[in-house]
C-alpha cells in the first residue's frame, strides 16, 4: 500500500463503521447486532472505553477511510513484579484490504504502543476455529503458551 496508514483513537462518529467491521466475520455475524440506529449498548461501551485511560479503541485510517480497528487494554498486575500487560482484542480489517498487510501493521503498531506504556508483555486471544488468525499471530511472534478459558453469561 503506497499511501500512509494512520492510527488514531476512535471517535463517536466512527462507531458505525467499527461495528460493521466486527459483524462482517463468520463469528461476528452470530454475536454482533449491526443495524441502524446502532443499539445503545454499543454507545455505552464506547463511552466507557473512552473514559478509561487504560483502554484505547484505535482505528486504522487510509486515505480518510477507516479500514481497521483494535482495542488495547492496559492492565496492572501484582505478578511479574507489579508489571503491566497489554491485551489486544477486537482486531478487524475491512474486507477490501484483507491480505494486503494492514493487519500486520496494526498489530506491529499495537506492540509498539504497549512498549511506550512500559508493558512487559502483549497478550491476545482468538477463537480456536480461526486457524488463519492463529497462524497470523504466530507469524508475528506470538506463542500459544497458555490455555485460555471463558465462562459466558446469558444476557438479559
pLDDT digits (tens, 9 = 90+) for 92-119: 999 999 989 999 999 999 999 999 999 9
10-residue mean pLDDT profile of the chain (156 residues): values are 85 97 91 94 97 98 97 96 96 93 97 98 93 94 91 80
Query: Do the Cβ atoms of 85 and 75 come closer than 8 Å?
Result: yes
Query: Do the Cβ atoms of 103 and 136 come closer than 8 Å?
Result: yes
Whether the pTM exceeds 0.85: the reply is yes
Q: Which residue has the cell 461495528?
A: 19
Question: Which residues contact residue 144 at a Cβ distance below 8 angstroms, ignoring those fewer than 6 apart?
Answer: 134, 138
Starting at the edge strand found earlier in the chain, the sheet holding 119-124 runs 5-9, 55-62, 65-76, 84-93, 119-124
Q: For residue 79, what pLDDT is reported?
A: 92
Q: For residue 1, what pLDDT is reported?
A: 44
Tell me the domains of the chain and their CATH numbers: 5-139 (3.40.630.30)
How, if at all, do strands 119-124 and 84-93 pair?
A: parallel
Q: For residue 2, what pLDDT is reported?
A: 53
For the stretch 60-74, pLDDT in tens is 999 999 999 999 999
Amino acid at each position: 500500500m503506497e499511501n500512509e496508514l494512520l492510527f488514531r483513537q476512535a471517535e463517536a462518529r466512527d462507531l458505525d463503521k467499527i461495528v460493521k467491521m466486527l459483524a462482517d466475520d463468520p463469528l461476528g455475524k452470530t454475536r454482533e447486532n449491526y443495524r441502524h440506529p446502532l443499539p445503545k449498548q454499543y454507545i455505552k461501551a464506547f463511552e466507557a472505553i473512552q473514559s478509561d485511560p487504560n483502554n484505547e479503541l484505535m482505528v486504522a485510517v487510509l486515505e480518510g477511510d477507516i479500514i481497521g480497528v483494535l482495542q488495547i487494554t492496559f492492565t496492572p498486575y501484582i505478578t511479574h513484579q507489579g508489571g503491566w500487560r497489554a491485551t489486544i482484542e477486537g482486531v478487524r480489517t475491512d474486507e477490501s484490504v484483507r491480505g494486503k498487510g494492514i493487519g500486520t501493521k496494526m498489530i506491529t503498531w499495537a506492540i509498539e504502543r504497549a512498549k511506550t506504556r512500559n508493558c512487559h508483555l502483549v497478550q491476545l486471544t482468538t477463537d480456536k476455529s480461526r486457524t488463519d488468525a492463529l497462524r497470523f499471530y504466530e507469524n508475528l511472534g506470538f506463542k500459544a503458551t497458555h490455555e485460555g478459558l471463558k465462562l459466558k453469561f446469558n444476557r438479559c
